[in-house]
Amino acid sequence: MSAEALSKLSIGDSMVTTRAAAARARTAPPQRSQMSPSASPVSSPTPSLIESDDGHVYNVSTFDHDLRRRAKMGLLGDNEISMKFCKEIEDEPKRYLFHLEDDITVAMHGGRAPKCSCGANEAGKACKHIFWMLGQLTSAAPKTQPIELQEDGSSVRNIHPADIIDRSSLADVANHLEWTYQDDQMPDEDEMLDEIANMLSVFEPTEALPSEFKSEETPELTEQARKYRKFGTLLSQYAMRNPAYFLELQTIIPPAYQSQVFFTKINNRIDRVFKALGEYISVGPDNTTSEALDVRTCAARLENLVEAISNYYDEQYDEEEQEDEPSTDVAVLTAAALIRILDEVSRRDYDAYDEISWGPMPPTESRDNNLFVCLMRPTADGEGLFVLQTLLTLPQEILLRHYVELLDIEERLGGTPNTPPAYMDTLRTFLHENRKRAASESGGSAAKRPTT
């Protein structure tokens, strides 16, 4: 990085070359000339060597008094200057922009002196913000030699500061200095609000999904959920006014973590749905203190979950670049959740109320008492096949990880007359094609079940 770049540079023999020597130079008693007792002492000028808090020594011997004062303000640690975020502009030449607190921006690109929006770096003299930037960029440099600075900030030991960054990348520099780095173009207002809502939904106290958290038609909320939404609105307003805060939120709550939490909530809901169905079958709707769902309501909940999973997966596409596919992590989690639902449903091809001992006469129609029949109802041209419609759009290599599970499901579906032909044909076609692909890739031996 910058340390490597700077370590290869040499300085003049007449300069102080060690920290100890620099310290001696600063602490040595001044050479006094003969003066009359009545002469007034002259105040000491700003030193020609400035040592920063991290131990780097900067040679400012060519600077006038005012410029030395500016350099000292920028290079010492009590300047209250801090980075909000940085980014690069891919123009010719490439520009680096550093957005500091107090709405200050320092711009750097090769061949020219850095510019600062504070306006104090006119007449070929750098301001304290530019000197602060130079101090940051040289923080990894060796401390064995003083670092010579140019008056306008255009070079550090005869290297332009932008060239120091070019030795690695701005992203690497930002990572080393723990700055917030803006990688992409900032989204527009609506996109930013949507993304902030997605991030905040991760911590929603009632485990609301992102779409539910953003919906204005959400059913009655708990007091904690109402308070959290008000907090989210306040936080969103602040992030909209402060791009650095928005970028920091993206760093703290990255897409991968959002996906992990989303599917944790989905799997918790799957657990609750099947538990509630079991509760209803065991004791009925009136004799339980926990949630109880009849077959039709359970089926509707599962359809809603499959739709939520499908919509979330589709949202991972870049709206402007439809060829981009969702990340592998999202596809893996999507496949696991969908196959889990299909597996559980395929095990429930029976009259759920056959042995109940509570309540009046239960429903006798299969579409009302058989969860499998309720969800596997025939559809025209195979459209809207439960789970399969989304599942088979996932990358083949991810589905092949669940090949044995899908074979088990196929066996169950093939053993009941309640499986619609279109559903069975779609699943078998997929499995047959992948069986042939696996055979060709393994030199002719088809994929088999593992022996137990």
Q: Give the number of residues written for the chain.
A: 452
First to last CA, the chain: 55
Token pair 């109940």 is at which residue? 356
The per-residue pLDDT for 297 is: 97
Q: In whole angstroms, what is the distance from residue 232 CA to residue 234 CA?
A: 5
Instruction: Name which of 17-31, 191-205, 313-327 the model is least confident about.
Output: 17-31
> Can you name the residues that pair with 295 across neighbouring β-strands?
none
Q: pLDDT for 211-221, tens place per residue? A: 999 988 777 88
Other CB atoms within 10 A of residue 257 CB: 12
Could you tell me the pLDDT band of residue 438, with boundaries at 50, 70 and 90?
low
Helix H or strand E segment including 58: strand 57-59
The per-residue pLDDT for 324 is: 59
Contact indicator for 447, 438 with CB cutoff of 8 Å? yes
Distance of CA 155 to the CA centre of its chain: 35
Q: In whole angstroms, what is the distance from residue 286 CA to residue 283 CA?
A: 8
Token pair 């439960």 is at which residue? 386
pLDDT score of 329 more than 70: yes
Q: In whole angstroms, what is the distance from residue 62 CA to residue 48 CA?
A: 8
Q: pLDDT for 386-430, tens place per residue? A: 999 999 999 999 999 999 999 999 999 999 999 999 999 999 999
Q: Where are the domains of the chain?
A: 2-27+43-177, 184-252, 254-441
Q: In whole angstroms, what is the distance from residue 54 CA to residue 313 CA?
A: 48
Q: Is the peptide bond before 93 cis (omega within 30 degrees of 0)?
A: yes
Q: pLDDT for 88-127, tens place per residue? A: 988 777 899 999 988 899 999 877 899 999 989 888 899 9
Q: In whole angstroms, what is the distance from residue 295 CA to residue 309 CA?
A: 21
pTM recorded for the entire structure: 0.71
Q: In whole angstroms, what is the distance from residue 188 CA to residue 37 CA?
A: 72
Token pair belonging to 124: 């070929």
Single-letter code of the amino acid located at 429: T
Other CB atoms within 10 A of residue 145 CB: 23
Give backbone dihedrals phi and psi of 268, rounded to 5 degrees, phi first.
-65, -40
DSSP annotation of 33:
P
Token pair belonging to 111: 């061949």
| DSSP string over 242-267 | -HHHHHHHHHHS-HHHHHHHHHHHHH
Helix boundaries (H) for 357-442: 366-369, 371-375, 388-391, 396-399, 403-414, 421-441
Other CB atoms within 10 A of residue 306 CB: 21
pLDDT score of 3 more than 70: no
Q: In whole angstroms, what is the distance from residue 17 CA to residue 142 CA?
A: 11
Q: pLDDT for 225-258, tens place per residue? A: 999 999 999 999 999 888 888 988 998 999 999 9
